Amino acid sequence: MSETKSVIFVCMGNICRSPAGEGVMRAMADRAGLGDRMTIDSAGTIGYHAGNRADDRMRAAAARRGYDLTSIARQVTPEDVETFDLVIAMDRDNLEDLERLAGGERDHIRMLGSFLEGHGRDDVPDVPDPYYGGEAGFERVLDMIEAACGAIIEHLESGNGRGD
């Protein structure tokens, strides 16, 4: 990857799934020696939690795996959808909100589940929202994000994303 690539992870409130995506992706990109050539961010489709840190339970689950979630919640903007090379939605509702913000379907707006091994565009799983569940839900989210981030890096390294 010779030029800087950008990816933004989007969930509803930007306090559980998307900051976890940002933190895991940042750590994996750094380990791959790509951290200085990637812009990694997260946002939510609603602004209710804007200004807040990630949920304490998600930060704790991520810390147990060696990830530091430092992002501050914010709402996704039309400019984000236009400027990021890859926009990753955590579930179908987020995908619909992003497509509405973009004025329709866009190739660079994808669900995280489409990067999981064994899943194509027709059988993409949602990343479940762990907010109202127990500790196992946060672990499941991290499992899915970890499993997808390698493929996301490969996707970006191969020149895929916006503008290709």
Give the active site residue among 74, 106, 126, 140.
126
11 is catalytic: yes
Give the active site residue among 11, 41, 97, 110.
11
Give every CB contact of residue 20 below 8 A, 6+ residues apart in sequence: 9, 54, 58, 62, 67, 69, 141, 142, 145
Give every CB contact of residue 103 below 8 A, 6+ residues apart in sequence: none
17 is catalytic: yes
Give the active site residue among 17, 26, 59, 110.
17
Contact indicator for 50, 58 with CB cutoff of 8 Å: no
Among residues 27, 25, 26, 33, the alpha carbon closest in space to that of 1 is found at 33
126 is catalytic: yes
Query: Which residues carry out catalysis?
Result: 11, 17, 126
